[in-house]
Amino acid sequence: MGWLRALVVFSLVLWTAVAHAHPEPPKEPPPKCTERCFVVTRLVLEGSVAGGVLGFTAEGAVLAEHPVAVPLFGPPSKVRLDAVTEDGKPAAIGFEGDHYYAMTAAKRFTLKGKLTLLGDLALTIPGPVNSLEANLSAGRMVEGTKLSGLSAATVHFDGGSEVKTAEPTVFQLSRAFRVLRETSFEYRLVMRSGNDLGVIRLPLTLGEKVLDVGGSSGWKLEGNELVLPTGGNNATITVTGTFAEPPKRLLADARSSYEWWLVESDGEHRVIASTDAASAKQIDSAESPLPRTQASSRLFLAKRGETLDLSVQTLTSVEALAAVIRDHARTAVLTPRGDWVIDEQLTYENNGVDHLLFKPAGRAIFLATDGVAERLMHGEDALMIGLRKGNHTVRVQSLSSASLSRLFGVLAVPTPDHPLTASRSTVTVGLPHSVHPIAVLGGDRVVWLVSVEHGLALAIAVLAAWLAASTRRDRALLAVALGGLWFVAAPVFVATIAGVAVMIAFRISGRLLTGSPRTLARLAIVGGAGLAVLVSLAASKSFDRAPETRALDLPAASPPADGKESVSKLVAYDSKNDEKTAVGNFAAQTAGGGILRGVAPVALPLPSAERYAHATRELVTRERPFTPRLVYVTTTALLPFAGLWALSILALLFAHRAKIVALRARLRELLAPPPSVSPAE
């Protein structure tokens, strides 16, 4: 047994050594409490309101293992705490923000002290407090003697007797009813009295849902009444909210001698008000005490006992123009090689359309909005143009091809396709020197390029030939020569007619006048003819011509079947010696003709043109498009007429060759120097 006892002793010694070698880890302190760390079960107020000093007793418990700040009253600027004790000992009192607090760690505590009301007879209780009792010897708590479940509440006190006037002296109520997509209301209540107003109850008989109340702290709903605590003898309270459905009948409050009713609606609703003798009378809405928000606002003045029946009619919207093109100006220049360069400018007004599917007349190469270039984006085989709200301008450039006849024909000007209505559309067609326009079709009227001026010029040529020549042959040849001269060189025609007129006037003045009057008349004739020639030369510089621009050198190519070509084919590009002349980044060095994908484009200058034709169309729609057509002749077709004109001049010169030779001899004789006289003579 001795060895067994020794084994037990050895085990005990070994266990003790191991226990001391590995002691138990210390226990961690519990985490600090952050919410629901205390409860205030009961708060009692005692004393006299008239003196402004009340005693209080607060009972509660701390639920944490550390000291906790228990909120008491506020605000500190209008309430003072004195002689506060905790379980008979001085308590640790401080304030933070809008309330006082007591710092305590007692599992159960009882706080007692005195509070002094400074100014308004109102007390803010941050809470939460389970119950509040007011055992006052003088005065009363307006909200009642016993309250429960207080949190962030404000209670009010009355220093007089409990029997008070049931209604305030002045009770002025103004109401605004706004029928929009959601029917809302705004009530403004103005009250004044010689005594404290206390708590005002406003009945809600129209199904109002109160969202906000301004001017009253601690408001609440009790059934169909809005409870509005007030302090002092005057108050202005604003109540806002919504209706489940628009009210059908308005009735003035019995406490108000009259009320203002402001009825408003938006463009989607129409409010019809009753107009019988018992209804409130409509007056000028500028007198409304409430702000007006709609142009359709109407103001009614309701006296005590008057009503107003309302009915709301929901209006149905119809389709309307959400976007319209105010002006569509198109300039299409035809190059001598048969390529169209089209520049379009659209001034639009938009109020809801986000994008415009615009199918240009050719291959789009440039897009800009308000002068700022944009990337070319395509969708549904059309150019996608983003539209902005308001008035803006879009510029689009495109390239296309045309096929011209050798002699004459009708040329269709490329026309874009888009769904918007254009109030006014104009087109200016620039033509090369080999194409001569006769008329433009497709506009509001046919535009003739052969105008009355041409007919008048031909008539003047016939009259001048009849007066200047004496035989039928000479008159016919001279009329053809002068008429053709008008189309070839209008200033020369004017100068020739002026010369013929001067010659005729000289003959008439020589027969009718003599001496000084004849000389003065001939000087006046020469001066008038010179002035006419100068005016003609000045007018010819701007006759049917546009400012010169640099021509676009496009490579010759046969037009495709669809009338469109790739931009890289229409824009000339010389790829020789790329490596020697490469500049810019890598993308620019490898771009053929300066063409890149996904960048904002640059505008292409319009080529020059020899002559221009114009046409206009009002109110253009997709169903009534503006497709101008140009009737033209080419220079090749006019060659026979030019030959006839030249032959007439040659024939006229040949018929009067003897007179021309005699005239030349006479001119030489006049220009020859006088013979020299010898000294001997």
Cα of 135 vs its chain's centroid, Å: 66
471: its two tokens: 């035989």
Mean pLDDT across 401-409: 87
Mean pLDDT across 648-665: 80
Mean pLDDT across 534-559: 46
List, as one string, the DSSP characters of 77-95: TTEEEEEEEETTEE-EEEE
CB 172 within 8 A of CB 191: yes
Report d(CA 615, CA 118) in Å as an integer: 87
Q: Are strands 170-179 and 183-192 parallel, antiparallel or unpaired?
A: antiparallel
Q: Who has greater pLDDT, 299 or 484?
A: 299
CA angle 184/190/195 to nearest 5° reads: 145
In the chain, the N- to C-terminal Cα span, in Å, equals 196
**Other beta carbons within 10 Å of 112:** 17
Q: What is the pLDDT of residues 224-248, one digit of tens each?
A: 899 988 877 888 999 999 998 899 9
Q: What is the pLDDT of residues 509-535, one digit of tens each?
A: 767 777 777 777 767 777 776 776 676
pLDDT for the residue numbered 162 = 46
pLDDT band at residue 651 using 50, 70 and 90 as cut-offs:
confident
The answer for residues whose C-beta is within 8 angstroms of residue 42's C-beta and 6 or more apart is 57, 58, 59, 60, 129, 130, 131, 133
pLDDT for the residue numbered 576 = 41
Instruction: Give the DSSP letter of residue 592.
Output: G
Q: What is the pLDDT of residues 328-340, one digit of tens each?
A: 999 999 998 889 9
Q: At residue 472, what is the residue type? A: R
CB 362 within 8 A of CB 563: yes
**Other beta carbons within 10 Å of 245:** 9
Q: Is 127 left (phi over 0), alpha (psi -120 to 50) or beta?
A: left
Q: What is the helix, strand, coil percentage profile of the chain, to 5?
A: 25, 40, 40
* Domains of the chain by start residue, with CATH: 38-158 (2.60.40), 170-314 (2.60.40.1730), 323-451+606-634 (2.60.40.1730)
In 122-165, where do the E strands start and end?
Answer: 122-125, 129-138, 140-141, 146-150, 153-158
pLDDT for the residue numbered 25 = 54
Q: At residue 199, what is the residue type? A: V
Mean per-residue pLDDT of the chain: 79
Q: In this model, does residue 544 exceed pLDDT 50?
A: no
CA angle 111/114/120 to nearest 5° reads: 125
Percent pLDDT > 70 in the chain is 82
Q: Who has greater pLDDT, 583 or 345?
A: 345
Cis peptide before 25 (omega within 30 of 0): no
pLDDT band at residue 175 using 50, 70 and 90 as cut-offs:
very high
CA distances from 44 to 19, 107, 148, 367 (A): 57, 20, 12, 80
Mean pLDDT across 485-507: 73
Residue 360's Cβ-count burial label (10 Å; 0-12, 13-18, 19+) is buried
Whose structure tokens read 């033509």? 431
The answer for residues whose C-beta is within 8 angstroms of residue 274's C-beta and 6 or more apart is 307, 308, 309, 310
Q: What is the pLDDT of residues 574-630, one digit of tens each?
A: 434 444 344 444 444 444 555 666 677 888 888 888 889 999 999 998 888 899 999
Strand pairing partners for 668?
Answer: none
pLDDT for the residue numbered 616 = 93
pLDDT for the residue numbered 520 = 78
CB 322 within 8 A of CB 292: no
The helix/strand/coil state of 71 is strand
Cα of 242 vs its chain's centroid, Å: 31
pLDDT band at residue 653 using 50, 70 and 90 as cut-offs:
confident
pLDDT band at residue 553 using 50, 70 and 90 as cut-offs:
very low
Report d(CA 286, CA 674) in Å as an integer: 103
Averaging pLDDT over each range in 377-381, 479-483, 613-617, 673-677, which range is the top one? 613-617
List, as one string, the DSSP characters of 171-195: EEEEEEEEESSSEEEEEEEEEE-SS
Instruction: Give the DSSP letter of residue 660.
Output: H
